[in-house]
């Protein structure tokens, strides 16, 4: 049975399968991953966001080049061109949840909000996977046996 | 007539000389390209044939105990550098190291695994103690004064840099490679961040076998 990833829509923007990773004890930062599709004919930008678990929401790009790990903030918003899908995933673009008020555990869900320049505010929910997870945890077994 | 022949002979001789010089020039460039060009670029190696990595250090572990390079002698040791305000690379490396120790089975006890923070201002022994509870209990986390941490990074030829971010925060840039030493603290190998699990595990096994 195929499991359908959670999909959230606001205007021309569709956000699929937001997820996060469990955090080690005492960690003050977490991460957020998702696919963002722009189904419209105009470019849009992810200009901000928030979650109920952290003070701040930032978009960063991680790189490991010539053995050096770096993190660059994406400034001026993350552009999603018309017809484009931008993926936030481990080791690349990601949302950084800064100053966590609580640790994240596998199986948790985290409520959050994304703000797009044109599509406006979109409420989403992140599923929390393991500490080293490389992909979104499987969706809960809902609607089975129908 | 004879003077014309002489001229032709001189022209031919000249052309052959130019050709030979050109061949020599290209051969020399080819040779240089093969030996010192990017295709076979070699790291600078000391006369012993072993990079000078792993000098003396004095730091504090996540249980609050003072440790030095001698603490880890007697077993091959894996060192890597990072910080806890790191959303991706550092927890991933610690998680993978936890997996490697599990995969090594009983051999894991013949190896030291050491995580050194490059952010001593925020990473106190107390915070590291809580942080390390999420990983294999055999992994030791080290911190110290900023000067002690700088000295340790120099000993291991590890680059790191504080980078200011929004809202008065900062993040750290740092070498993400894992350094493997033998039981005497001598350099054995590097595990690159992008190396696959099987290769990394093979390097750890090789270090354990000595």
Query: Is the per-residue pLDDT at A57 higher than 60?
Result: yes
Structural tokens at position B129: 């103690």
A95: how many CB neighbours lie within 10 A of its CB? 27
Q: What ipTM was reported for this prediction?
A: 0.85
Q: Which of B122, B169, B173 sits opposite A98 (nearest CB)?
A: B169
Give B92's contacts in chain A (Cβ within 8 Å): 90-91, 132
Which chain A residue's Cα is nearest to B161? A70
A20 DSSP β-pair partners: A32, A128
- Residue appearing with tokens 């000389």: B17
Identify which of B63, B49, B82, B65 has the alpha carbon closest to the alpha carbon of residue B152: B82
Q: What pLDDT shows up at residue A95?
A: 96
Judged by CB atoms closer than 8 Å, whether chains meet at A68 and B167 is answered as no
Strand order in the sheet with B58-61: B66-68, B58-61, B139-143, B112-117, B77-82, B178-181, B187-191
Q: Which of B95, B122, B176 sits opposite A68 (nearest CB)?
A: B176
Q: What pLDDT shows up at residue B166?
A: 76
Task: Please state, rounded to an integer, the average pLDDT across all residues of chain A.
Answer: 91
Which chain A residue's Cα is nearest to B93? A132
Which chain A residue's Cα is nearest to B126? A26
Instruction: Please write the tens of the pLDDT for every residue from B41-73.
Output: 444 444 555 667 777 999 999 999 999 999 999
Q: Which of B96, B166, B176 sits opposite A64 (nearest CB)?
A: B176
Instruction: Please write the tens of the pLDDT for every residue from B186-201.
Output: 999 999 988 999 999 9
Query: Is the per-residue pLDDT at B4 higher than 70?
Result: no
**Average pLDDT of the residues in A34-38:** 98
Give A29's contacts in chain B (Cβ within 8 Å): 85-87
Q: What is the pTM of this model?
A: 0.80
Lowest mean pLDDT among A39-48, A89-98, B70-79, B167-176: B167-176
Question: What does the angle CA B180 – CA B181 – CA B186 come to, to the nearest 5 degrees?
Answer: 145
Question: Alpha-carbon distance A90 to A67, whole Å?
Answer: 17
Query: Is the per-residue pLDDT at B85 higher than 70?
Result: yes
């Amino acid at each position: 049975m195929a499991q359908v990833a959670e999909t959230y829509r606001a205007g021309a923007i569709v956000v699929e399968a937001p997820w996060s990773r469990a955090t080690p004890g005492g960690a003050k930062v977490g991460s957020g991953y998702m696919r963002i599709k722009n189904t419209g004919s105009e470019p849009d930008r992810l200009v901000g966001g928030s979650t109920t678990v952290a003070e701040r929401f930032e978009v960063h790009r991680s790189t490991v080049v010539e053995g050096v790990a770096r993190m660059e903030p994406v400034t001026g918003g993350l552009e999603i061109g018309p017809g484009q899908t931008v993926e936030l995933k481990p080791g690349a673009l990601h949302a950084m949840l800064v100053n966590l008020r609580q640790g994240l555990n596998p199986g948790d869900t985290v409520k959050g909000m994304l703000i797009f320049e044109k599509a406006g505010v979109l409420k989403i929910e992140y599923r929390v996977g393991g500490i080293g997870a490389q992909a979104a945890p499987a969706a809960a077994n809902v609607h089975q046996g129908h | 007539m004879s003077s014309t022949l002489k001229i032709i002979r001189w022209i031919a001789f000249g052309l052959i000389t130019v050709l030979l010089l050109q061949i020599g020039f290209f051969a020399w460039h080819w040779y240089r390209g093969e030996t010192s060009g990017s295709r076979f670029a070699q790291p600078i190696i000391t006369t012993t044939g072993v990079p000078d990595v792993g000098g003396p250090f004095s730091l504090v572990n996540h249980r609050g105990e003072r440790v030095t390079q001698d603490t880890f002698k007697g077993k091959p040791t894996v060192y890597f550098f990072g910080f806890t305000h790191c959303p991706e690379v550092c927890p991933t490396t610690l998680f993978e190291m936890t997996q490697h120790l599990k995969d090594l089975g009983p051999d894991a006890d013949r190896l030291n695994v050491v995580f050194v923070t490059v952010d001593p201002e925020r990473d106190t022994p107390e915070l590291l103690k809580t942080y390390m509870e999420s990983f294999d209990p055999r992994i030791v986390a080290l911190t110290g004064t900023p000067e002690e941490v700088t000295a340790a990074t120099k000993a291991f030829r590890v680059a790191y840099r504080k980078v200011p971010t929004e809202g008065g925060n900062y993040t750290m840039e740092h070498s993400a490679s894992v350094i493997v030493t033998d039981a005497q603290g001598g350099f054995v190998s590097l595990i690159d961040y992008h190396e696959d699990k099987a290769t990394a595990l093979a390097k750890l096994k090789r270090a354990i076998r000595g």
